[in-house]
Amino acid sequence: MEIWINPACSKCRAATAALDEAGVTYTVRRYLDDPPTAEELEAVLTRLNLDPWHIVRMGEPAAAALKSLPKDNAHRADWIAAMVTNPILIQRPILTTDDGTTAIARDPETLTRLLDS
């Protein structure tokens, strides 16, 4: 199991605490220090069954340039490039289980579902 986190994020801290409490072995990726590549983001998006704009934190100052960017396949690479360049834009925490199931685990229900799978 792998979890992408920002240690300053309360949702990320809650998720790792829940994993610890459950006794789950997992790998932490501090994605601000070790940003994903475009290929890694594409793989995560495929597993999430989402488009890049669905996982962008639009409230971040770095997202200002994206507000006018169309949400379509013609601009998909632009959205991904923005997240690679500014990983703070990536929604968190992203948890991938050993079987490849992936979710944005911001709420206890999602985290519980992943731990039970």
pLDDT tens digits for range 39-96: 999 999 999 999 999 999 999 999 999 999 999 999 999 999 999 999 999 999 999 9
- Residues 28 and 31: their CA atoms lie apart, in Å, by 9
Give the mean model confidence (pLDDT) for residues 3-12.
96
pLDDT of residue 56: 98
In the block, tokens 């409490």 appear at 21
Phi, psi of 26 (to 5 degrees): -150, 160
pLDDT of residue 41: 97
CB-count burial class (<10 Å; 0-12, 13-18, 19+) for 47? middle
pLDDT of residue 116: 81
Contact in structure between 52 and 79 (CB atoms under 8 Å): yes
- Pick from 34, 22, 44, 12: nearest CA to 114: 22
Residue type, 113: R
